[in-house]
Amino acid sequence: NRQIVLNDYIKGFPKESDMSLKTSSIKLKVPADSPNAILVKNLYLSCDPYMRSRMQKSEGGYTESYTPGTPIVGYGVSKVVDSAHLNFKVGDLVWGMTGWEEYSLIKAPETLFKIQHTDVPLSYYTGILGMPGMTAYTGFYEVCSPKKGETLFVSAASGAVGQLVGQFAKLLGCYVVGSAGSRDKVDLLKTKFGFDDAFNYKEEQDLTAALKRYFPNGIDIYFENVGGKMLDAVLLNMKIKGRIAVCGLISQYNLEQPEGVYNLFCTITKRIRMEGFLVFDYYHLYPKFLEMVLPLIKEGKITYVEDVAEGLESAPAALVGLFSGRNVGKQVVVVARE
């Protein structure tokens, strides 16, 4: 059983060398001392920014630290190869938490979602039909209180979550602008995802002026994925009674000292609702979400771009790449296709 393990707790930016490929032996049977467990073959693994926080020693955050020397844990799509659990049978496809390894023993499989619809790419259950899709859906519909005709700005807009937020907002009739870190990503936003406009934040000297150019009358909704300087510039450009869904702050995850947000006082003067949210609180909405998104995919009304890395051994580089923007779209790793 080939596995990607975390060598030790990290500080600063994650590196490929923080993880190693190891091989251990495994019996492809649920052991007798693990009642209710299932054994899965991992097909697709998801690389997600929150995994960075699990690579450091826990400081009481909302996620548990990884244990050095053991496989990285994350979302994935897997196939059941043996089961001691009544609700799972051999051949079932599931998505949820699994190990960065070829086969994983899952002791509490109740938290996994069973995959019922297989007429879409299975890798989508790491992205548009999985946790990032649910994040975009709940963040946009449950937190932003969006209305037709409003203006929406989303950062990290070409990523797993951002590309969907922009498309949901377009479907509702919002005016949508996104920021991303390369010209190719900006092109993708405008051509493939149908954003009204987009810009490369790395080419802007003055983010406040850039946002003023795209939103001369201000921003109703900001879907926050990056934090730091971008948030500060956005606050000055928000409209009165605007809403900010605080989904993520990726520009801050690798810094020892978070950067200051000087314009936070705008939340008062402009009566802005700035609301943090965690997708885990909304998983009860998953059936409603599938009902909405599956037809949109099948009718081609929504599109999804993935960045697919081949082989378990490519997983560390793929994960590290999230923090330099190497990924174009949802970063997924293929361990096996069936």
**Which two structure tokens, joined as six digits, stand for 166?**
């922009």
**Which two structure tokens, joined as six digits, stand for 112?**
């996994």
Q: Which residues pair with 243 in a beta bridge?
A: 221, 273
Taking CB under 6 A as the criterion, which residues in 111-150 touch ligand NDP?
132, 135
Candidates 330, 13, 325, 327; CA nearest to 181 is 325
38 vs 210, beta carbon nearer ligand NDP: 210
**Cα 125 to Cα 46: distance, rounded to the nearest angstrom:** 9
Q: Is 279 in the site for ligand NDP (CB under 6 A)?
A: yes
Among 156, 219, 244, 297, binds ligand NDP (CB under 6 A): 156
**Which two structure tokens, joined as six digits, stand for 30?**
């649920």
**62: helix, coil or strand?**
coil
- The mark string for 194-233 relative to ligand NDP (x by CB under 6 A, - otherwise) is -------------------------------xx-------
104 vs 251, beta carbon nearer ligand NDP: 251
Distance from chain centroid for Cα 125:
12
Choices 65-73, 77-85, 176-184, 312-320 (CB under 6 A): range interacting with ligand NDP? 176-184
**Cα 44 to Cα 93: distance, rounded to the nearest angstrom:** 11
DSSP assignment of 298-317, as one string?
HTTSS---EEEEESGGGHHH
Contact 304, 124 (CB under 8 A): yes
Least Cβ distance, residue 112 to ligand NDP (angstroms): 18
**Cα 253 to Cα 28: distance, rounded to the nearest angstrom:** 38
Q: Is 76 in the site for ligand NDP (CB under 6 A)?
A: no
Taking CB under 6 A as the criterion, which residues in 53-72 touch ligand NDP?
none
**Which two structure tokens, joined as six digits, stand for 222?**
């900001």
Least Cβ distance, residue 43 to ligand NDP (angstroms): 19
**Cα 35 to Cα 318: distance, rounded to the nearest angstrom:** 35
Contact 80, 91 (CB under 8 A): yes
Q: Is 278 in the site for ligand NDP (CB under 6 A)?
A: yes
Q: Is 159 in the site for ligand NDP (CB under 6 A)?
A: yes
215 vs 253, beta carbon nearer ligand NDP: 253
Taking CB under 6 A as the criterion, which residues in 248-277 touch ligand NDP?
248-251, 277
Among 113, 141, 286, 323, binds ligand NDP (CB under 6 A): 323
In one-letter notation, the amino acid at residue 33 is D
39 vs 329, beta carbon nearer ligand NDP: 329
Q: Is 247 in the site for ligand NDP (CB under 6 A)?
A: yes
Q: Is 181 in the site for ligand NDP (CB under 6 A)?
A: yes
**Which two structure tokens, joined as six digits, stand for 292?**
């909405």
Q: Is 185 in the site for ligand NDP (CB under 6 A)?
A: yes
Binding residues for ligand NDP (CB under 6 A): 48-50, 132, 135, 156, 158-162, 180-182, 185, 225-226, 247-251, 277-279, 322-323, 325, 327, 330-331
